[in-house]
A and B are shown apart, each in its own frame.
Chain A
Amino acid sequence: MIVNEQIAVDHGLKKDEYAKICELLKRIPNITELGIFSAMWNEHCSYKSSRLHLKKLPTKGKQVIQGPGENAGIVDIGDDDAIVFKIESHNHPSFIEPYQGAATGVGGIMRDIFTMGARPIANLNSIHFGSPQHKKTKNLLRGVVHGIGGYGNCMGVPTIAGQTNFDSSYNGNILVNAMTLGHVKKNKIFYSKATGLNKPVIYVGSKTGRDGIHGASMASASFDEKIEEKKPTVQVGDPFAEKLLLEACLELMAGDSIIAIQDMGAAGLTSSSIEMASKGNLGIEINLNKVPCRETRMTPYEIMLSESQERMLIILENGKEEQAKKIFDKWNLDFAIIGKTTKSKKIELYFDNEKVADIPVNILVENSPMYDRKWKKAKLPKKNKIKKEDLNNLKIIDVLKKILSNPNVCSKEWIWQQFDHTVMGDTIQKPGGDSGVVRVHGTNKAIAASIDSSAIYCWAHPLTGGKQVVCESFRNLISVGAKPVAITNCLNFGSPENEDNMGEFVECVQGIGEASEYLKFPIVSGNVSFYNQTKEEGIKPTPAIGGVGLIKDYKKMITMDFKEIDNIVLVIGKTEGHIDQSLFARNILDEKNGPPPEINLFNEKNNGETLLGLIEENYIKSAHDISIGGIITAVSKMCIKGNKGINLKKPKYLINEIEYYFAEDQGRYIIEITKKDLLKVTDILNKNAVHFDELGTISENQLYINEKTKVTIDELKTCNTSWLTNYMSK
């Protein structure tokens, strides 16, 4: 087949990109080469629309061992220990085929982690679905949950936290973001940079099949009515093969034979080989006849573009081949020497004794397109039309019950009960809390992790929304007693070719950057997913933030369940009564206008650090950050978890009670302390200029506002726990 412009366009390349390829090569590429270019230059692999903006994010800090650019980020957690972590999207494939899409998303991110020498110790996920009433939602949710569980459970890695949201903007494009954390000794980290000439290039893992060809290109385009035809671009996962690959790789890594290692993820053999060569400023020569194939008569084009799962590319020290092969034989995995490193600085592929590709590596990487896309600044949100007198007609308890059973607030136990969250024997805080927490095996340290997104706020005002997500992650870590260390981000947006969507991206990234800089909470890894769009309809901007924190002594971990009757409950942070874009305004009043709550980074940092100090001094019996649904939703959850009630004091403020209880002002936490510590605690809060209010006293079994306004905790619990189970069993 002779390549022409049309074929290039069919590969998802733009006409001018194709012209650039011909110019750089000084000839017309053959079909294999074109395939390689299309794989390397698509949005998913090249970050061509986002690179310019991502560069501005803060990525450094003394705790950072490895920032963005490798398979995952790495942070120092003291002693010889480091944590490797990253988040990745698998949105497009999960919509087309929810089970396999989600499963291979989980498999892919775990591979990124153990490629660096780390044993995965925890998984998290952030999943977004369309409206519960949409005809596809239930099946997609079931398929995604089964897929995540199917892969993670089999790998024996606990899924310790997650987030599930519903919004009609995801009707045609669901989001499946998976995050993994791994533990590694600092002197045993592996990288993907190839060094040395004539070193053997080794292929290990599963065989290469025809699945997933053009997966990365598919993930770089919007959906249309022909989406069903894209099913063959979805990879098929085999968690058993990956478990073997994990054990085999870690066994090989215990020795000193590996120079560089890279997993085959998006764009398979193409991107892994090119990345290793590019980082090492070397060439790589591969004989494609040596690649273990699952199917017969696979062409060079198919071999290079397959996204078959559970495969790795390794560059070994000379003479270590036999020793390495023994390990992979033991685990029943393929092991093939498929090529070597060269000084040519080219990627050279041979098949049936013919040269089938010959491309300088720098053309593919450094010359890949980068766009400064046009973008529009978000308009200031319209004013809301809420009338204060309407609020007085509402009954607090009725509203509370509605909010607790709202799909975005209700308990997600139906989901996380299907994920093994206790395997590995170190999970000390399971899903359903502010963060999941696992011990660092064999030490007193524990790692907390949380995953957050606030698409509503980001949609209403991207800059504020971007800041808010980072702050929310910060708070979720602090609420369990963890010092925030670093974050990974998964930026899910619509088409970058649309100026509004691009504007949302630019401003969210700016907000994320500002908060992360101020809170010294750097971004060490991440992923961008554009084109979450069906025809002209894009999703709400949904940056997901995965936060990681450190608890030095795991016995000091905090949970959110109320502990003891008669203990005092305080609210840290000021309540101004901001109800615009709150769950209350949007779902109870059906008011979608107005700005999201403002972020005050000074208060955010000060409140959080002061609370960490109180935790360190053992004053805090339980804690929970206040997020959607406001004070009363947060306090209800603490009651439900602890099976205790609360007597609420009348707020001192002049604001309406409804606003006081349901407002979503930021930077707030609820804490439980003993009566005898009250003076000491308030003294510390005052000294640190942290605003606080006394909210109430823990009681037996009801939430009590006054004689007319009260409800039993059992009733609240039923509201909170039944929605999802009922929905899924209908």
Chain B
Amino acid sequence: MKSSVVTFPGSNCDRDMDVALKKFGFKNKMVWHDDVELPKSDIVVLPGGFSYGDYLRCGSVASKSKIMKSVINFANSGGMVMGICNGFQILVETGLVPGVLLRNKYLEFICKNVFVKINDKQNTYFKNIDNNVLEFHIAHNEGNYFCTNDQLKEIEDNQQIAINYCNMDGVIEDQFNPNGSTKNIAGVFNKNKNVLGMMPHPERMIDPSLSGEDGSLFFKNLINNIK
């Protein structure tokens, strides 16, 4: 299975994602933001970091960079595109996934483990995964998901909410919401569910020596689903 990870100036989880994808069997290529064409890929990943220093608005400059035209075309033709953290911010700026990401409710950067509940398994990302709740890791300053009431109704009706912040038993309540996101939303799909944007970093949870191993479950499942 082939994957591509885009490096923007200021990306800083590109190497971590490369390590994770390779560990679970992907043949991964790094793609430079200034390139025009994507290599042949089964999945394209926009990694975390601070693309273009997050100046102007997180992800906004990156969403206009050269490679993004190809990424958008790839997504619109049904290709899998996954944006993690800053990658999610870039995705909302392109409009590939609905909503916006605001500054965290308490105005502080948060780095910690969280639990997320998988809301929908009718998609290539989470299909066949045994668990309903995963322990992931977040590290962001602007992860407070917001959308209009109309948008919210639409994404709920279409089952576009991918994951919600919850406790270890899968209870979704305000007290388990780390950043103020609407309805505890931690990740969303586009309509066709080939594009996924999420704040948590599964690539930081791929080894029992690290913060945890639920990222391994995610990647193992992902490559099996793509095969």
Contacts and interface: CB of A to CB of B under 8 A. Distances in A.
Q: Do A and B come from one complex?
A: yes
Nearest to B203: A425
Interface string B188-225: 00000000000001011011011100000000000000
B19 to A, nearest CB: 6
Interface stretch (B107-115, B121-129, B150-158, B165-173): B107-115
Contacts of B48: 423
Contact of A417 (B112, B203, B206): B112
Tell me which of B12, B53, B141 has the highest count of chain A C-beta atoms within 10 A of its own C-beta: B12
Tell me which of A417, A420, A427, A554 has the highest count of chain B C-beta atoms within 10 A of its own C-beta: A420
B103 to A, nearest CB: 12
A interface secondary structure, majority: mixed
B109 A418 contact: yes
A155 B111 contact: no
Given A239-B53, A240-B50, A422 B9 contact: no
Contacts of B209: 428, 439, 554-555
Contacts of A241: 53
B53 A424 contact: no
A292 interface: no
A153 interface: yes
A155 B139 CA distance: 13
A419 B204 contact: no
Nearest to B17: A425
Interface in B84-124: 108-112
B111 A428 contact: no
Interface string A147-180: 0011001111000000000000000000000000
Contact of B9 (A239, A331, A418, A421): A331
Contacts of A423: 12-13, 16, 48, 139, 204
Interface in A401-433: 416-428, 430
A238 interface: yes
A418 B108 CA distance: 7
Nearest to B16: A425
B186 to A, nearest CB: 17
Contact of B12 (A155, A421, A427, A439): A155
B50 A427 contact: no
B12 A422 contact: no
A653 B89 CA distance: 62
A82 B205 CA distance: 27
B110 A417 contact: yes
A240 B111 contact: no
Nearest to B141: A153
Tell me which of B10, B52, B54 has the highest count of chain A C-beta atoms within 10 A of its own C-beta: B10
Contacts of A153: 50, 109, 111, 139, 141
A422 B10 contact: no
B111 to A, nearest CB: 5
A332 interface: yes
Contacts of A420: 109, 111, 139
B108 A156 contact: no
Nearest to A246: B12
B189 to A, nearest CB: 26
Nearest to A333: B9
Contact of B50 (A243, A330, A416): A243
Nearest to B48: A423
A244 interface: yes
Contacts of B53: 154, 238-241
Nearest to B14: A156
Nearest to A430: B211
A243 B203 contact: no
Interface in B132-187: 137, 139, 141
Given A149-B109, A154-B10, A422 B139 contact: yes
A241 B10 CA distance: 9
A639 B206 CA distance: 27
B50 A422 contact: no
B49 interface: yes
Interface string A536-573: 00000000000000000011000000000000000000
Contacts of B110: 417-418
A425 B14 CA distance: 11
A244 B9 contact: yes
Nearest to A427: B210
A327 to B, nearest CB: 13
B2 interface: no
B142 to A, nearest CB: 12
B215 to A, nearest CB: 10
B104 to A, nearest CB: 10
Nearest to A155: B12
B113 to A, nearest CB: 9
B15 interface: yes
Nearest to A446: B209
A417 B15 contact: no
Nearest to A439: B209
Contacts of B204: 422-423, 425
Interface string A129-158: 000000000000000001001100111100
Contacts of B206: 425
A428 B10 contact: no
A620 B42 CA distance: 46
A508 to B, nearest CB: 34
A146 B106 CA distance: 13
Nearest to B207: A425
B168 to A, nearest CB: 14
A159 B50 CA distance: 17
Tell me which of A241, A332, A423 has the highest count of chain B C-beta atoms within 10 A of its own C-beta: A423
Interface string A433-452: 00000010000000000000
Contacts of A419: 109, 111
A668 B52 CA distance: 49
A240 B139 CA distance: 17
Contacts of A416: 111
Interface of A: 146, 149-150, 153-156, 238-241, 243-244, 330-332, 416-428, 430, 439, 554-555
Of all A-B residue pairs in the complex, the 9 with the closest CB atoms, nearest first, are A156-B12, A240-B53, A425-B16, A154-B50, A420-B139, A418-B109, A428-B209, A420-B111, A422-B204
Given A241-B53, A332-B9, 12 more contacts: A239-B50, A239-B53, A244-B10, A330-B34, A422-B111, A422-B139, A422-B211, A423-B139, A424-B16, A425-B203, A430-B211, A555-B209
15 contacts: A149-B109, A150-B109, A153-B111, A238-B53, A240-B9, A240-B10, A240-B55, A416-B111, A420-B111, A422-B204, A423-B204, A425-B15, A425-B207, A430-B211, A555-B209
